[in-house]
Amino acid sequence: MNRRGTALAAVLAVAATAVAAALLIHGAASTVRSAADAACLALRPDPLSPMVRALNADFELPDLRGKKVPLRGLRGKPVLVSFFATWCPPCVEEAPSLEVLARRIGDKASVMIVSVDEDMEALKKFYAKGSSAVVVRDETRKVPGSFGTSKFPESFLIDPAGKVRYAFINKRDWSVPEAAACMLGLR
């Protein structure tokens, strides 16, 4: 084989290796997406309404200290927005599992609890020991209304770009491994 033939063979070998690597990476990414989708489906999401599907989720609400927290400040990672009230028995039952999820995902994703409590003291008492989640308050209930809900608990999983990907009506057990896998696989 002459030099040109040897060089061509080398270039073809490198190209074949690059194509194989790209296919392997694409296959691995597809597998990860499939696993994340399966984890999300295991949580039994509810159908997204056309309004919520088109929603570019963004709001700013005060936390328990009165500091404004913008949802857009959490962009770049998945966020579970959970609408909650201290007077709502299913919300109170669900709250410990949201704490487990928030601790499990660490800083790779966020859990934002949006309380609709009118009584700030009741909310502060409920979270007297603090929270691993971001807890904000919307006593006007305008934010849940923008998501098309007035019932609690109701949660929405938002992808890193701010698009609502899943809705969960009524309480869920967020402490199950699938919840973290779903959130962390959402890209």
User: Average pLDDT per run of 10 along the chain, which is 187 residues long?
Assistant: 57 45 44 71 91 90 95 94 97 97 96 96 95 96 92 95 94 96 91
pLDDT at 64: 94
Instruction: State how far the Cα of 106 lies from the Cα of 183, in Å rounded to an integer.
Output: 11
Query: In order of start, what are the domains of the chain with their CATH numbers?
Result: 43-184 (3.40.30.10)
Task: Provide the token pair at 96.
Answer: 């410990």
Cβ–Cβ < 8 Å for 132, 113:
no
pLDDT at 34: 73
pLDDT at 71: 95
Instruction: State how far the Cα of 151 lies from the Cα of 82, in Å rounded to an integer.
Output: 11
Instruction: State how far the Cα of 82 lies from the Cα of 169, in Å rounded to an integer.
Output: 10
pLDDT at 140: 92
**Residue 62 is which amino acid?**
P
Please give the span between the terminal C-alpha atoms of the chain, in angstroms, as a whole number: 48
Instruction: State how far the Cα of 144 lies from the Cα of 91, in Å rounded to an integer.
Output: 14
- The runs of H, that is alpha helices, within the chain are 3-42, 50-54, 89-105, 120-126, 142-146, 177-184
Q: Which residues of 87-121 are buried (b: 16+ CB within 10 A; e: fewer)?
A: ebeebeebbebbbbbbebbeeebbbbbbbbbeeee
pLDDT at 6: 59
pLDDT at 56: 85
